[in-house]
A and B are shown apart, each in its own frame.
Chain A
Amino acid sequence: MKKRIVILGGGTGGTLTANRLRKRFGPDEAELHVVDRDDRHVYQPGLLFVPFGLADPDELVRPRRRQLRKGIEFHESEVEAVELDADRVRLAGGVELPYDALVVATGARLLPEETEGLTGDGWLERVFTFYDVEGATALREALARFDGGRLVVNIADMPIKCPVAPIEFAFLADWFLRERGVRAKTELVLSTPLDACFTKPIASKHLTHLLAEKEVELVTEFSAGEVDGVGGKLISYDGRELPFDLLVTVPIHGGAAYVGRSPGLGDALDWVPADPHTLQARAKENVFALGDATDVPTSKAGSVTHFEGELLDGNIARFLAGAELEASFDGHANCFVETGFKKALLIDFNYDTEPLPGRFPTALGPLPLLRESRVNHLGKLMFQWFYWHALLPGRELPGIGPAMPAAGKQYAA
């Protein structure tokens, strides 16, 4: 009998999963529906480059429906709620979508209003985020005008999407302000709720020198409680104050709002609890989740979503056939980390293995791990093409599989 699969979210995970399922199932075997509230698919890794004039915001956005294979129905609508008991999704306006299997791929939501004062006076004037197109574009104007003073880069709270992005932002800001000749007049500060910039022992050993080289002042265990945009102060819950002339913050993140309106689906922050190896949601056996929307203990990053997506369609097929799921996802993440001056690092890790030095094998040759290089920077830039033309359509990327490769890594003796 023909099955009906509903996918909530037309971003990286939802698009990739829909396209892989379309390849896997013929039109007589499965009906596929993708729901998103808008038709703008943003290449989110590109947002980091926008404030520095290195990427044009218009080039990062494409229509969501155009990324979907033929035979996938796209619904541009808000999700009202998921009714787990009835196995159906209720869309805004009363449309109901019953399902045999549901995929939650609605990512993370920025919640700047949850930090007192953050979106008050000064927001988008001297207080910015680069985590969305509008913020990154506004910040580009502010950085072009910036002629020195205190630039504070802040991580409000964990978890966030792409946890290395604020560090990359600080490194790129160092480069950008040097190029503009105002670096000597700038104090560059990075504040984090964690107790270090690099918290994993091996990464810390290999990378901590970068902060000194780039003259980034680090403030640790700083949980941002309040922003005074007029007075130019960021205030922590324990009363410490960080003065700023320009604040670039990564706001609090949460899951999609409808998760909170769907009893039993999410946790208190609207993340969807899921089995870290099968990606089946804890809520019910016919619900699956991938990408930033889940609570699985790995990074919220596009590479993670990609690797999850290469395994998830298999598990959905197994579930629909009444077979046992494969517990095959290992938490694999693979991220280029820009360090400025046309160089980047590469990190590769999973649930059990922290980022290690060595070389990462690819079809185009090995890339150095935990070490700055130009080839990594080129890899980061080239990836955008692969994203639209290979990753989203659901093609295998040459030499980069879902399981973390052990080859090339230098394990401690």
Chain B
Amino acid sequence: MTTVMIAEAPVEVDAEGFLIKPEQWNETIAAAIAGENGIPVLTDRHWLVVRFMRDRYLQTGTAPSIRALGKESGVPVKELYELFPKGPAKLAAKIGGIPKPHGCI
């Protein structure tokens, strides 16, 4: 766990740059993380997914999988990969300031 500056704010992150405290997140931080991860501009469709992920995590303690995202967020799976290349669930979690999707070990 280290403290880094993102968008001029000190935030605690894990070894891969995921925020450890979701309450330290804001939209400027989200845009900065997106920029560092190959998404120069967050469109309304990006925000839809990021907010859905974040709200679901804060409500239930678990972020949805790609299939659940495709089923419930209103953004189809194919588009999720266009918006967040390679790993939509992981990247949207990172931008949304919530922990990386993980298993039990």
Contacts and interface: CB of A to CB of B under 8 A. Distances in A.
A225 B104 CA distance: 23
A158 B71 CA distance: 14
A39 interface: no
Contact of B77 (A198, A225, A335): A225
Interface stretch (A121-129, A295-303, A373-381): A295-303
Contact of B105 (A193, A203, A237): A203
Given A201-B15, A225-B77, A273-B60, A157 B67 contact: yes
Nearest to A335: B104
Given A237-B78, A296-B61, A297-B62, A163 B72 contact: no
Interface in B72-105: 72, 77-78, 80-81, 86-87, 89-90, 100-105
B86 A194 contact: no
Contacts of A237: 66, 77-78, 80-81
A194 B68 contact: no
Nearest to A345: B105
B63 to A, nearest CB: 10
Contacts of A67: none
A268 B72 contact: yes
A54 interface: no
A107 interface: no
Interface residues of B, number: 25
B65 interface: yes
Given A158-B65, A225-B77, A252-B67, A295 B104 contact: no
A157 B63 CA distance: 13
Contacts of A203: 105
A238 interface: yes
A10 interface: no
Nearest to A331: B61
Contact of A200 (B66, B77, B86, B102): B102
Contacts of A207: 105
B60 A297 contact: yes
Contacts of B87: 195, 221
Interface string B5-22: 000000000110000000
A303 B68 CA distance: 26
Contacts of A159: 62, 65
A195 B100 contact: yes
A362 interface: no
Interface string A296-336: 11110100000000000000000000000000000001010
A223 interface: yes
Given A164-B104, A199-B103, A269 B77 contact: no
Nearest to B85: A238
A57 interface: no
A360 to B, nearest CB: 14
A14 interface: no
Judged by DSSP, the binding face of A is loop
Most buried by A among B61, B86, B102: B102
Given A157-B67, A237-B81, A347 B62 contact: no
Given A237-B77, A237-B78, A199 B68 contact: no
B86 A238 contact: yes
Given A237-B77, A268-B71, A194 B101 contact: yes
A333 B14 CA distance: 24
A276 interface: yes
Contact of A194 (B14, B60, B103): B103
Contact of A269 (B15, B71, B80): B71
Interface in A175-197: 192-195
25 contacts: A114-B67, A158-B65, A159-B62, A159-B65, A164-B104, A164-B105, A193-B65, A193-B66, A193-B89, A194-B102, A198-B105, A199-B102, A199-B103, A200-B104, A201-B14, A201-B15, A207-B105, A221-B86, A221-B87, A237-B66, A238-B86, A295-B60, A297-B62, A301-B104, A351-B61
Given A203-B105, A207-B105, 16 more contacts: A114-B67, A159-B65, A192-B103, A193-B65, A193-B89, A199-B100, A199-B105, A200-B104, A221-B90, A223-B66, A268-B71, A273-B60, A276-B61, A297-B61, A337-B105, A351-B61
Interface of B: 14-15, 60-62, 65-68, 71-72, 77-78, 80-81, 86-87, 89-90, 100-105
Top 6 A-B pairs ranked by shortest CB distance?
A297-B61, A199-B102, A203-B105, A299-B104, A221-B87, A297-B62
